[in-house]
Amino acid sequence: MSKLVKLSPPQSSEGASVNQLVSQCQPLDPNSIYCNLLQCDHFSDTSVIAKSDDDVVGFISGYRIPQRNDTLFIWQVAVDQHQRGTGLATRMIQSILGRAHLADIRYIETTITQSNQASWALFTRLAERLSAPLNKSEYYISSTHFKGKHDSETLVRIGPMFNTTNGESNESL
């Protein structure tokens, strides 16, 4: 029998646990504990943590793009290996989008390396469930932005999507 997974905005005290989870989720880039602490603190309104009992089993960091307040940028999606394939990542994104203060979000953006098949599958499914177009374009180029030390990142943009609470339709996740 699987344990109940609770979703909530993260707290600063959970930064170290998030850091440990991310370090176990290849191919994600690890961040410093301080970076994860800031994500849990400063970006808690646009991020989510998933816990089973007291164990952190999922985390999504996100933020509104300052110049485009209708766009939620998903920075990282981390899911514990024992929770993969359960739909947890989709549930976590749904929980963020379902927050009242984010009702005006019309676009989701993220960047994905070509080899990250799990992220491609997640965001392709998400676009389909939202009945929203998925556009992709070159964004951060290995040689230009990473001096060849990191794979290129493709920008993925989903939207426009509409919130069902304001009378406009899009099927829920």
CATH of the domain at 69: 3.40.630.30
Which amino acid does the sequence have at 25?
A: C
* DSSP state at residue 165: G
- Number of domains into which the chain is organized: 1
Is 172 inside any structural domain? Answer: no
Q: Which two tokens stand for residue 76?
A: 């990282």
Rg of the Cα trace of the chain? Answer: 16
Is 173 inside any structural domain? Answer: no
Q: Which two tokens stand for residue 155?
A: 């920008």
Predicted TM-score (pTM) of the model is 0.88
Domain of 83? Answer: 5-166
The tens digit of pLDDT for each residue in 118-155 reads: 999 999 999 999 999 999 999 888 888 888 888 888 99
- Give which of 48, 28, 65, 61 is closest to 159, Cα–Cα: 65
Which amino acid does the sequence have at 157?
A: R
Q: How far is CA 5 from CA 10, 37, 82, in A?
A: 14, 21, 12
Positive or negative: CA dihedral 86, 81, 62, 115: negative
Low-confidence ranges of the chain (pLDDT < 50): 1, 164-173
Is 69 inside any structural domain? Answer: yes
- Where residue 85 falls (left for φ over 0; alpha for ψ -120 to 50; beta otherwise) is left
